[in-house]
Amino acid sequence: MNLKPVLILLGLALATIFALVCVLLTRERSPRTCQHLPPEQEDTEDGQSLVFADLSAEEMSQVVRYLQGHLGVPLVEASRAKPSENCIAWLDVQVPAKAEVLRFLDAGGARPPREALAVLYFGKQPEPNITELVVGPLPRPAYHRDVTVHKYGGKVPYHRRPTLAVEYKQIGGFLKSQVFPSAPAFMQQVMEYDGANLATVTAAPRGFQSGDRVTWFVLFQNVSGFFLHPVGLEVLVDHSSLDISEWAVSRVFYNGQYYRDMVQLESAYMQGRISVEKVRKAPRDGDFSSMKPRAPAAAPFPLQFEPQGPRYRVRNNQVLFQGWSFAFGMSVSRGLRLFDIRHKGERVAYEISVQEALSVYGSNCPAGMSTRYMDGSFGLGRYASPLVPGVDCPYLATFVDTLSLSDSLRPKKRKASLCIFEQNLGSPLRRHYSNLQSLYYGGLVNSALVLRSIATVGNYDYVWDFIFYQNGALEGKVQATGYPSSSFLHGDGLRYGNRLWEHTLGTIHTHFVNYKVDLDVAGVKNSLMAHDMVFEMTQAPWSPEQQIERPRLTKRVLDTEDQAAFLLHSKMPRYIYFAANSKNKWGHQRGYRIQITSSAGDHIPEASSMERAISWARYQLAVTRRKEEEPTSTSIYNQNDPWTPTVAFADFINNETITNEDLVAWITAGFLHIPHSEDIPNTVTVGNSVGFLLRPYNYYDLDPSIYSQDGVFFTSEQDFTACEINPLACLPKTASCLPNFPPFTFDGFRNMSRL
């Protein structure tokens, strides 16, 4: 018998058996797919949070149809409107008065009627103006009322209107068709202009006095990261006339010299009387300004996942997490905002919202030296950016779409423009290791919920966060990134910044952000308290001949708005808090402390003709009585007329009594930015983060996080490797699962579509 075939068959059989055993063993060891369990917190969503909800697409469409049919004037779509025509600039929800909302939420009162706020530009009227109309009730509008005079004390002049995208487009057409052709040799030989290789950036405000609408436009090479590619040419355009044919050039600047217009610049160039600084043509990708990685991809960066699914709930516009609940929304102009913020079922704040982001620039070029951007006028919510999973937010975050209607008659959906996630911050919220007397360890991981949006306003990207901690603290934070703004480097430019590239001056500028914080600590009526310390000299009781310097607590009630207004760099009490009328178990007034994180530059001098428009930035903190007629610290109309501000925050502070009143804290944080070579190609968020914390101060009888289910405690006498003793010991079992990472998607490049 031939044994060779038998041996071959036997070998194949053994190999097959071995392979099957390996597969079975591997399958047993393979982690299972993570199973999502419902959050422990009870879902209390009952629709009440919808009283704060942003407008739906259907509501926006209904408001537009109502306005088209009931105003008796033609309304042109804003995306193609001339300055001399009427249009709807934008819509937003009209949040009801606080008293109405609280009656509904807390006292079983009727749900307030749902209304929209419509901002209209009436250019085709004998007296062109901006009008604000409240339209309701939604979803089937039947009335409107003009609230402009009530809100602002009079009509809003037309020249104050925020600039629509179509107006920038019209100015671009004016430059291309009329301005640049008047200097053909200069534009062709120096700028190498081909009709598409130059980009413009606007300065603001627009002039020197009320009524002006005269804007400097800076020219850059139209490449990726064009903000870093100035070509030395800036044009001052007078676009104050409602007749586009009457627009004109008021001045031209090139490489340190001013000219009456492009014709004079062309004449000087042809006669050889100007100093030409020809800029090397940049490739389409921008070269040094490109954000394309300079290194190949390697091992993936660390990722977080939730072994049993998210521990928070998102229902409509409400979030619930570890004792927290709040409603969220997105204002077209001011961006991210929260309402009805509760911890352990008790309201701690009625509203927390972004108010404004301000940048004041310096330069030896005209646009740079005159720029004071008030980004709310451009729209912190309108320019909410689509978020990239894995970079802008954790890959497994919950992404939320937002809607807006601006520059159009149709609503626009911004896909994934908000994200919500729980984040393990990689450090303990609290801990102690005891190696004296008894041996034990106790601690709690610092895991917090984050609500985030990112607004891209021109060159800058603002990362807006609200963060909710398990100890009852809440943080508002903004991080700045994006491209630094730049001027053309010439003359004494280094007095105003650092050289970033051959012709690029990174210009010095300040960043200020303002928040509204309407705390309601154990009720609407609060007082403002200040605690701090002094050293006092005392005799040692057991040795009277010796002296001891000891810290002593100081206490003060801040009775008036003037006492509660702290100028930007003035000394402020280290502990300043809203105090309730009730007390905790230990006899202390329950409170929430305000703690500001800021490294702000200097505020513009109060003698400046435009300072009142940004007077909120005078103060690091100002606490005022809450008033319905003082809903915001600024106005979108201040940008284009800061000399006669529509809203001047300084007027809010008039020494009224603030003891046992409904109070609002207006918080300003900021930083000074002197761009440097490491800002190329892009400014990083590290070190560019400011904001505030709201921390319970005797609000509870003890730290509420002691009731967190994430707590860890074990002693030397316990088996800390056992699951029932130490939840960390369970992780090999509870966290050994495969998270479901969905395919990567991003709709940002299709994000301009209308519904």
DSSP string, 168-180: HHHHHHHIIIIIG
Confidence of residue 37 (pLDDT cuts 50, 70, 90): confident
Burial classification of residue 273, based on how many CB atoms lie within 10 Å of its CB (0-12 exposed, 13-18 middle, 19 or more buried): exposed
Mean pLDDT of 70-78: 96
Residue 292 DSSP one-character state: S
Asked if pLDDT for residue 672 goes beyond 60, the answer is: yes
Q: Do domains 165-288 and 314-483+509-516+524-624+642-657+667-673+683-697 have the same CATH topology?
A: no
Number of H helices, E strands in the chain: 10, 36
Mean pLDDT of 291-301: 91
Nearest in space to 463 (alpha carbons), one of 360, 380, 522: 380
Position 29 scores a pLDDT of 54
Mean pLDDT of 593-621: 97
The residues, any chain, with a CB within 8 Å of residue 589's CB and separated by 6 or more, are 529, 579, 580, 581, 582, 583, 698
Position 25 scores a pLDDT of 47
Q: What fold, for 165-288?
A: Nuclear Transport Factor 2; Chain: A, (3.10.450)
How does 189-226 read in b/e, with b if 16+ C-beta sit within 10 Å? ebbebeeebbbbbbbbbbbeeeebbbbbbbbbbbbbbb
Residue 671 and residue 752: Cα distance in Å, rounded? 32
The structure tokens listed for 354 are 């972004």
Residue 33 and residue 740: Cα distance in Å, rounded? 7
CA 549 vs CA 531, 534, 537: distances in Å: 19, 10, 5
Residue 449 and residue 361: Cα distance in Å, rounded? 35
Judge whether 460 counts as a catalytic residue: yes
Residue 425 and residue 473: Cα distance in Å, rounded? 15
Residue 322: which region, alpha, beta or left (left: phi > 0; alpha: psi -120 to 50)? Answer: left
Residue 487 and residue 502: Cα distance in Å, rounded? 12
Mean pLDDT of 662-687: 97
The residues, any chain, with a CB within 8 Å of residue 205's CB and separated by 6 or more, are 370, 372, 610, 639, 640, 641, 642
Residue 419 and residue 393: Cα distance in Å, rounded? 7
The structure tokens listed for 473 are 């603290």
CA 64 vs CA 56, 120, 401, 407: distances in Å: 12, 11, 21, 12
User: Do residues 375 and 356 make contact, with C-beta atoms less than 8 angstroms apart?
Assistant: yes
Asked if pLDDT for residue 11 goes beyond 90, the answer is: no
Mean pLDDT of 706-717: 93
The structure tokens listed for 59 are 């509501």
Q: pLDDT digit string (tens) for 53-64?
A: 999 999 999 999
Mean pLDDT of 80-96: 97
Mean pLDDT of 283-302: 92
The residues, any chain, with a CB within 8 Å of residue 157's CB and separated by 6 or more, are 129, 130, 210, 211, 641
The structure tokens listed for 341 are 């913020």
Asked if pLDDT for residue 8 goes beyond 70, the answer is: no
Residue 217 and residue 203: Cα distance in Å, rounded? 6
Burial classification of residue 726, based on how many CB atoms lie within 10 Å of its CB (0-12 exposed, 13-18 middle, 19 or more buried): middle
- Rounded to a whole number of angstroms, the distance between the first and last alpha carbons of the chain is 82
- Residue labelled with tokens 């928040």: 515
Q: pLDDT digit string (tens) for 401-455?
A: 999 999 899 999 999 999 999 999 999 999 999 999 899 999 999 999 999 999 9
Mean pLDDT of 252-260: 97
Asked if pLDDT for residue 291 goes beyond 50, the answer is: yes
Residue 38 and residue 41: Cα distance in Å, rounded? 9
Residue 25 and residue 9: Cα distance in Å, rounded? 24
34-48, 453-467, 502-516, 735-749, range with the lowest pLDDT: 34-48
Q: pLDDT digit string (tens) for 211-255?
A: 999 999 999 999 999 999 999 999 999 999 999 999 999 999 999
Q: What are the structural domain ranges in the chain? A: 48-157, 165-288, 314-483+509-516+524-624+642-657+667-673+683-697
3-class SS at 448?
strand
Nearest in space to 374 (alpha carbons), one of 483, 460, 451: 460
The structure tokens listed for 667 are 């918080």
Q: One of 92, 375, 465, 518 is an active-site residue; which one?
A: 375
Confidence of residue 748 (pLDDT cuts 50, 70, 90): confident
Residue 500 and residue 494: Cα distance in Å, rounded? 11
Alpha helices in 107-191 (DSSP H): 148-152, 165-174, 184-189
Within 458-508, strands assigned E span 460-468, 474-482, 486-488, 497-499, 504-507
Position 35 scores a pLDDT of 83
Position 39 scores a pLDDT of 74
Within 632-688, strands assigned E span 661-673
CA 654 vs CA 459, 527, 530, 661: distances in Å: 38, 17, 20, 15
Q: pLDDT digit string (tens) for 154-178?
A: 999 999 999 999 999 999 999 999 9
Residue 354 and residue 347: Cα distance in Å, rounded? 19
Confidence of residue 65 (pLDDT cuts 50, 70, 90): very high
Asked if pLDDT for residue 755 goes beyond 80, the answer is: no
Q: How far is CA 600 from the centre of its chain?
A: 17
Q: How far is CA 368 from the centre of its chain?
A: 23
Mean pLDDT of 659-669: 98
Sign of CA dihedral 157, 158, 162, 168: negative
Mean pLDDT of 668-682: 97
Position 23 scores a pLDDT of 46
Position 754 scores a pLDDT of 56
Q: Which helix (H) or strand (E) holds 62?
A: helix 57-70
- CATH architecture for residues 314-483+509-516+524-624+642-657+667-673+683-697: Distorted Sandwich (2.70)
Asked if pLDDT for residue 72 goes beyond 70, the answer is: yes
Mean pLDDT of 544-548: 95
Q: One of 66, 269, 460, 462 is an active-site residue; which one?
A: 460
Mean of pLDDT over the chain:
94
Judge whether 383 counts as a catalytic residue: no
Give rounded-to-5 percent helix, strand, coil for the chain: 20, 40, 40
Residue 221 backbone phi and psi in degrees, to 5:
-65, 135
- Residue labelled with tokens 């950036």: 201
Q: What fold, for 48-157?
A: Nuclear Transport Factor 2; Chain: A, (3.10.450)
Position 677 scores a pLDDT of 97
Confidence of residue 28 (pLDDT cuts 50, 70, 90): very low
Q: Which helix (H) or strand (E) holds 592?
A: strand 589-597
Residue 660 backbone phi and psi in degrees, to 5:
55, 50
Nearest in space to 728 (alpha carbons), one of 443, 424, 302, 435: 443
Mean pLDDT of 727-754: 84
Q: pLDDT digit string (tens) for 504-523?
A: 999 999 999 999 999 999 99
Burial classification of residue 369, based on how many CB atoms lie within 10 Å of its CB (0-12 exposed, 13-18 middle, 19 or more buried): middle
Q: pLDDT digit string (tens) for 141-152?
A: 999 999 999 999
Burial classification of residue 256, based on how many CB atoms lie within 10 Å of its CB (0-12 exposed, 13-18 middle, 19 or more buried): middle
> Residue 551 CB: number of other CB atoms within 10 A?
10
Percent pLDDT > 70 in the chain is 94
The structure tokens listed for 167 are 């107006």
Percent pLDDT > 90 in the chain is 89
Residue 118 and residue 86: Cα distance in Å, rounded? 13
Confidence of residue 117 (pLDDT cuts 50, 70, 90): very high
